Chain A
Amino acid sequence: MTPSVVVTGLGVVAPNGLGTGEYWAATLAGKNGIGRLTRFDPTGYPARLAGEVPGFVPEEYLPSRLIPQTDHMTRLALVATEWALGDAALEPARLPEFDMGVVTSNSAGGFEFGQRELENLWRRGGEHVSAYQSFAWFYAVNTGQISIRHGMRGPSGVVVSEQAGGLDAIAQARRQIRWGTPVMVAGGVEGSLCPWGWTALLTSGRISTRDDPDRAYLPFDADASGYVPGEGGAMLILEDARTTRERGGDLGYGEIAGYGATFDPRPGSGRPPGLRRAIEQSLADARVAATEVDVVFADAAGVPELDAVEAAAIHAVFGPRVPVTAPKTMTGRLYSGGGPLDVASALLSIRDGVIPPTTNVTPDPRYAIDLVVGGPRPANVRTALVLARGQGGFNSALVLRASH
């Protein structure tokens, strides 16, 4: 029998809250974490807003030896993992040697670290490049550092599918549990908020150039103008439900019940986009009917054509009545961290019986979806669907269900 995979721990680092409690309170209160960039002077750039994680002093949370060898996003990921383990009341050292692994997603690696070392190389010469550059930039860094810090020797991995990757990482961790590893850490935390990363992000053509934090990222609004990038994300502890019971834990926040991933047809093919298929596959995998889904956490691109594709897919599968929300209007888009953060939000919705709002948005009626705006909406949430898309054509859908 396929084991049921449950989420027993959450670690959140988000622009509107550091730690799960702070993040969730801020999100239900509609607190915006988007502001003018402070990590570098954005004056000369066409876009100047971002979701930065506030008040994060790495030295307060991490041993000093880890600071020089890590990018900002790795430090955030290490802290999120530690909090998730604490939340699950898990001590990896007490598990058998190979019983715990790590799967993270990343889209751009430790880019700020990379910029500093590229500068060292070209300005000062090769001999000035850091001994840590060989692993602080690359996409596998968070998985490696997390596994080392906590002695996790089980199967591990790293998935890169731009902003869909965070859900793919959680799905891969679920596979590893089904194949026999009882406990996995999974998720994504990142950010490329340095001038070089910013310059590269700008060429995506999807970044909002507005200066008002409440008017810059407006998915499903007639006034949508692109999105605001952010940093952060979430790490989750996934367990085989049987292991959780054996160690006397409760079944946590909920079950990873279903997953589907598709890719859009190449441009000009005239074929339909793949998001609807991903949704349908995830529902089939979870063996739930569309009518059983209580809320959809939308990808919410903030780009009119992409919002239209998503609204049409949701409408086609669920009709106009399922509540849809996008609390990422308060954080900006967190790349591989965005999907896992939405998964955390969806699990908290199940726990608390409340759907967090999509802030600042006046829904455009042409999309014909029930967007949760104006404040949190009380609801009995038993099953939630989380959607994430990556630029280039990646579509992922994850179904979460209350633990029985």
Chain B
Amino acid sequence: MDTPYTIPAPVQSPAPIAARAAARIRRSFRQIRTENVFKNVLVITGLLLVILVLGILLTLIVQSLPSIRLLGLRFLWGKTWNPVKDVYGAFPFLVGTLLSSFLALAISIPFSISIAIFLGEYHPRGWFSNLLKNAVELIAAVPSVIYGFWALAVLVPMVRSFEKSIGVQQPLGVGIFSSSLILAVMIIPYAASLGRSMIQMVPSPLKEAAYGLGATRWEVIRSVVLPYTRSGLFAGILLSLGRALGETMAVTMVIGNTSILPKNIFAPGNTMASVIANEFTEADKTVYLSALIELGLALFLVTVVINIAGKKIIDRFTHE
């Protein structure tokens, strides 16, 4: 038996090898180029954002110079806002902004944390969870003017009868309390969604170990889940606070818009954002316009300060 004849494998000629190598090199170069382009795009977008923020800050500072020159630090502590006499004191609006935002935050935290725990730990799946999840997302998608209308038509009369029943001196319905309530509803989704995804990321071995030691569900949440997700929950709360500080339309519709310093949480007041929105279009003097822009600068700085303070608190939490 003679061995069958096998056709020898074709020996590659040197020319195609060189072509392939060249093609590979071209591809590598292309890959490197794509890589570089991608990296540059990332850097440029990042830089653009930084430039944009700095640019806004710079514009605000430059445009508010006339008012800063005229009023100095009195702007922040003055209690009178009188465009007719060119006296601009932002203190009542500063108080109104901080009071309504922090009150809204205090009202919303129990709800947002509960929703986060319910969706993240108790019932991550199921029709009710889906419904709740979608409802929470829908809350964030509704335009704020609709909240304003709803608050004016439904919430304000309810608040008015509540104020009557607890014996408030002048039960108006509109005021800081009403605006805090509507703000609280509007900011729930931010803390709730972030909290939910944080809670879902808690490693199960940790939880299982706790259950293995005989811990109840409540005990697991209290001593494993919450400590593990503390910084994430706090970041979500910070995000909602930022939203509350800057909200304009819904607030201006129910806060009562008075420049008088609020005496209590049921009194009407005003926030910095809503004063700007209300008075900007008809500000007919340079100093007036400049004072409104300085109000924007102050709001910008308040947000920055609160954010930095929040970051510090998160750092402390995570390094403990």
Please determine whether chains A and B interact with each other in the same assembly. no
B residues with a Cβ closer than 8 A to A are: none
